[in-house]
Amino acid sequence: MKVQLNVDVHHLTRVEGHGNIKVRIEDGEVKEARWDVVETPRYFEAMLKGKHYTEAGILTARICGICSIGHCLASIRASENAMGVTIPETARKLRMLAKHGETLQSHVLHLFFLAAPDFFNLPSAIHLLEKEVKVYDLSRRLTNLADYLYDEALAQDRFIKPSTRGYRREKSMLAPELREEIEDALFGIAENSAPELIGLPTVKPFLDKKPEIVNMALRLKSLGNRICDLVAGRTTHPVSLQVGGVAMAPDKKALANLRDELKRSVGDLKVTAELFKTFNIPDFIRQTEFVSLKGVDEYPFIGGDLISTDGVVKREDEYLEMTNEYLDANNTSKWCKLSRESMAVGALARFNNNYPLLHPEAKKVAEFLGLAPVSHNPFMNNVAQLIETVHVVFESIRYIETLLEDDFKNIMVPVVPKAGRGVGAVEVPRGILYHDYLYDKKGFILSANCIIPTTQNNANIHFDMKELARQFAPKRLTDKQLELLCSMLVRSYDPCISCSVH
């Protein structure tokens, strides 16, 4: 029988913003496979016209609620480049720390709350949490029951080890076989209740995973957010990151506390890596050109040259030659390309271009999860994000240590407005972001351009979708299975759709 498949997703869930998927396979042939962005446009470039340089960063942070720090950093860098401002070294370090906090917060949010539910076959992390809470409640009740049974047994001489008679009676005096028997019986109760309690055949993954998955994710996400709060003044829509440097120095005691907490989070990162190793990541390859910043002595996040895996290298201010935006009739987001019909940016692109500069601990996780450059499997962007999560945790520790030796006296330089053009390129969680402003001599914007990572990815997602449908059409999937696969493809890119249609 020839394959007939139909996928039609209106407003895909667990992504930021609004996009649709359409796939139609008739007689085994892909007739249609589309990824279309239908987000309402906001016209930020039009709003930027006439804005003073002190306002641009505050306005453009509002392009994105998840990577507002990245937008603010790209914006103030563009303004500083236009006006020839060089910020103090301490301010550079503080900005990088805020950037790492955002990457941590955003990657953990995506990995656990947007991507992971697909691998658990659940609609959301909240459902995962509900199961965890139920199992936790049950295990607490069973522990009470166990204590009761132990007490009953202790009251009877025959269950106690003869050598311990006469002492105050404790659980450890019970015959080990009896303890095991009680534990097994209680685990049996938990197992038997699993289908009714949580709709799964076993409670094991919830009992074995200590610490629990959702709480672990929340601890990591909280760390990222608190770094941002401390250094940028607020996680979403930062206040301290301003043209000329950083307006407020963080409290050193709080910085030192964060460093200690970051050190303690290493165990959570290990458990996260082990968890992701159990996930069945789809085996799919489409040869792709990956674009990112080019690191020199550090894995790159703020400023520098641009590079592609096809060998293109450009300066930061030549970004237009790296993006080549054009319009597609079905999309409110623009599309981009470089050497091929489309290109990709994001964690996997950074990883593919800058692998040697990763922290050794991040490289270990890459090896553990079987990711090596250059990977052309877009689903591996999840793994690349996890590797970067490890990288930014260790880098944050290093940055805080050097910052603690600083006196924070010199974190802001005076700014004299002048006419000119400046570009700021920043690697935000979802890929490389460009802000480009032309200023008049009083420091007001004459024209502005912002190119967002997801704008650069949208065409690539679209062409991946076609290839995915072609490769998986003969594999006897149901409509639902193909829909899940296509949805997972889009989610792997962690698209920030309202950003892409700013």
Binding site residues, another protein, CB under 8 A: 11, 13-17, 40-43, 45-47, 49, 55, 58-59, 62-66, 68, 109, 113-114, 117, 123-127, 129, 133, 214-215, 218-219, 221-222, 225, 232-240, 242, 247-248, 327, 332, 447, 498-499
Backbone dihedral angles phi then psi of residue 258, each to the nearest 5 degrees: -65, -40
**And the tokens for 50?**
């006439």
Q: How far is the CB of 14 from another protein (least distance, A)?
A: 6
Helix or strand or coil: residue 261? Answer: helix
Q: Whose Cβ is closer to another protein: residue 160's or residue 246's?
A: 246
Q: Whose Cβ is closer to another protein: residue 6's or residue 124's?
A: 124
Q: How far is the CB of 498 from another protein (least distance, A)?
A: 6
DSSP string, 23-63: EEEETTEEEEEEEEE-PPP--HHHHHTT-BHHHHHHHHHTT
Q: How far is the CB of 45 from another protein (least distance, A)?
A: 5
Q: How far apart are CA 129 and CA 127, in angstroms?
A: 5
DSSP string, 310-376: TS-EE-GGGTHHHH--B--TT-SS-B--SSSS-EE-SHHHHHHHHGGGS-HHHHHHHHHTT--SSP-
Residue whose C-alpha is closest to residue 501's, from 64, 62, 48, 40: 40
Q: Whose Cβ is closer to another protein: residue 369's or residue 448's?
A: 448
Q: How far is the CB of 290 from another protein (least distance, A)?
A: 26
Q: Whose Cβ is closer to another protein: residue 295's or residue 431's?
A: 431
Q: How far is the CB of 151 from another protein (least distance, A)?
A: 26
Q: How far is the CB of 230 from another protein (least distance, A)?
A: 10
Residue whose C-alpha is closest to residue 451's, from 336, 301, 340: 336
Q: Whose Cβ is closer to another protein: residue 94's or residue 160's?
A: 94
Strand partners, 314: 306
Q: Whose Cβ is closer to another protein: residue 71's or residue 462's?
A: 71
Q: Specify the amino acid at residue 402.
A: T
Q: Whose Cβ is closer to another protein: residue 190's or residue 214's?
A: 214
Q: Whose Cβ is closer to another protein: residue 169's or residue 234's?
A: 234
Q: How far is the CB of 164 from another protein (least distance, A)?
A: 40
Q: How far apart are CA 259 and CA 239, in angstroms?
A: 22
Q: How far apart are CA 200 and CA 220, in angstroms?
A: 27
Q: How far apart are CA 333 and CA 10, in angstroms?
A: 16
Q: How far apart are CA 163 and CA 158, in angstroms?
A: 12
User: How far is C-alpha 139 from the geometric centre of its chain's CA atoms?
Assistant: 32
Q: How far is the CB of 453 from another protein (least distance, A)?
A: 15
Strands 289-293 and 343-344, by their bridges, are parallel
Q: How far is the CB of 235 from another protein (least distance, A)?
A: 7
Q: How far is the CB of 344 from another protein (least distance, A)?
A: 23
**And the tokens for 91?**
């301010």
How close are the terminal C-alpha atoms of the chain, in Å?
46
Q: Whose Cβ is closer to another protein: residue 19's or residue 300's?
A: 19
Q: Whose Cβ is closer to another protein: residue 182's or residue 218's?
A: 218
User: Which residues touch 347 (CB under 8 Å, ≥6 apart)?
Assistant: 107, 381, 384, 385, 387, 388, 429, 431, 494
